[in-house]
């Protein structure tokens, strides 16, 4: 048992355990806290994959922004202080079956694409030896992976189109959320 394996197991237990708590806890605020712990576990897993920037982005965006947005949204629509909802409603079995089927589909896709089933399992947590970005052979190889990512964002042969579309998507999300959340000018104080 190498240290990496031990750390991986700890992080996985944290991630999966708190994820289970999110869907089973009755107190909504505790469920939101468990969700933040799940995000922390995922950030740890990113670090294990040598993606430090993604781990920090996970902290910054998911824990620092989206969790807070989630808690605010819960507070806007429910009385959070006395929240003691039943954790499951009538659709719980359909949801469980769908989640398991979805998981098997993703697992099958990953095994097919990477040939995982044929190699030893240590590929799950070993950092890739060759850290060249996939599919960007035309770009000059930059040692610093974050700078490589930055260049890939704006390179016409790279990911510039998804980059610009992401901004349009964010704009649409913002405008949509404001339209839904903000009372119209005709209604006075809500």
Please tell me what DSSP assigns to residue 135. T
Which residues, including other chains, have CB under 8 Å from residue 131's CB and lie 6 or more apart?
Answer: 50, 145
Taking the alpha carbons at both ends of the chain, their separation in whole angstroms is: 60
**Total residues binding other proteins (CB under 8 A):** 65
Please tell me what DSSP assigns to residue 80. G
d(CA 172, CA 151): 25
Does the footprint of other proteins cover residue 128 (CB under 8 A)? Answer: no
Does the footprint of other proteins cover residue 13 (CB under 8 A)? Answer: no
Does the footprint of other proteins cover residue 167 (CB under 8 A)? Answer: yes
Nearer to other proteins, 26 or 112 (CB): 26
Does the footprint of other proteins cover residue 178 (CB under 8 A)? Answer: yes
What is the radius of gyration, based on Cα positions, of the chain?
21
Q: Please pick, from the candidates 14, 71, 116, 136, the single residue that binds other proteins as defined by CB under 8 A.
A: 71
Does the footprint of other proteins cover residue 50 (CB under 8 A)? Answer: yes
Nearer to other proteins, 94 or 178 (CB): 178
């Amino acid at each position: 048992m190498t240290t990496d394996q031990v750390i991986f197991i700890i992080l996985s237990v944290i991630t999966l355990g708190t994820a289970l708590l999110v869907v089973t806890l009755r107190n909504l605020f505790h469920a939101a806290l468990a969700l933040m712990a799940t995000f922390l576990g995922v950030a740890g897993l990113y670090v294990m994959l040598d993606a430090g920037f993604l781990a920090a982005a996970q902290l910054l965006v998911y824990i620092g922004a989206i969790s807070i947005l989630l808690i605010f949204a819960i507070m806007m629509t429910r009385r959070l202080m006395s929240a003691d909802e039943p954790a499951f409603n009538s659709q719980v079995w359909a949801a469980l079956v769908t989640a398991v089927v979805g998981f098997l589909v993703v697992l099958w896709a990953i095994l097919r694409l990477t040939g995982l089933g044929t190699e030893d399992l240590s590929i799950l947590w070993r950092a890739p030896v060759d850290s060249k970005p996939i599919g960007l052979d035309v770009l000059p190889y930059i040692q610093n992976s974050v700078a490589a990512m930055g260049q890939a964002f704006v390179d016409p042969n790279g990911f510039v189109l998804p980059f610009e579309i992401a901004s349009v998507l964010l704009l649409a999300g913002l405008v949509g959320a404001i339209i839904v959340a903000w009372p119209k000018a005709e209604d006075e104080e809500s």
